[in-house]
Structure 1
Amino acid sequence: NTDKTTVEKLFSSSDTSLATSNLSSPSVDANDPKNKKGPLPLAAAGTYKTGKENSQGRFVVVGSSAWAENSFINFNGNRDLALNTMNWLSSDEDLISIRPKEQEDRRITMTRSQLTWVRTITQFLLPLLVVATGVTVWWRRR
């Protein structure tokens, strides 16, 4: 390689994956000799000489852009992959990290009758149970 381009595989598919070139067929024939068996590279990164002294260009190639779409960016570390790719491409390696998960909004949705039931138990029945237990213990010790 005379242009000093280096390429490294970032990640690949599993051993049981299969790539087909016949996208018009609704089914995939695992025994078709045209199909390629996994593991298959899904993403690669590399560097190349830019022609300027002490200057390297960087590139990242991913098999599809679907992982970075709004509907998939929050799945399986896709956001970290996108941000870390941008940080590496801009030579900001110190910013590359696995970020902590954001807290999810975990609301409890209840009907009016369920809310009334929970309120009755927590505001009236449980305190009455504690008072009744205390009175019973006091009465027996007396």
Structure 2
Amino acid sequence: MLRKLHDATIPLLDQLDGWHHPAREPVEVVLHGDFAPYNTTCRDGVPVGIFDFDSAHPGPRWWDVSWALIQFVLALPDERERRTELFCDAYGYAYEDEHVLMRLDDMIRTIREHPAFVLQRAERHDEYYAGLVGWVSGTGEARS
């Protein structure tokens, strides 16, 4: 579904200005910006819809793919490697630890610094994502 969404946005790439977030280089598609289970709807366990496009902006496919991996795959402690491979194969994306780590670092920084993330700071979401950094980088196990 994410691949279809990205491919459908290519005609919009002449609109690089006016988004809530600035374009990220290299611009390949319009990103959802927060593609995660809490922004999808399912029927019989199968995703059928995407909503909440307030973080949409132009950028590289890996930005959304990495966040989707964090939210749909790494959040589940079982079979992370196999699920990552399946997700990336379905999308047609060559997995890179560096991209996932960059996306995690961005979210940790956002939670710690952005004034709108008061609840996430209070609930220590940054610590959860820091645990995933440890798992992805091989320096420790992520907490589930």
* Larger RCO, structure (CA 8 Å, separation 6 or more): 2
| Structure ranking higher in strand proportion | 1
| Structure ranking higher in helix proportion | 2
**Could you say whether these structures have the same fold, taking a TM-score greater than 0.5 normalized by the shorter chain as the test?**
no
TM range (shorter): under 0.3
Query: What is the TM-score with the length of structure 2 in the denominator?
Result: 0.25
Answer with 1 or 2: which has the greater Rg: 1
Query: What is the TM-score with the length of structure 1 in the denominator?
Result: 0.25
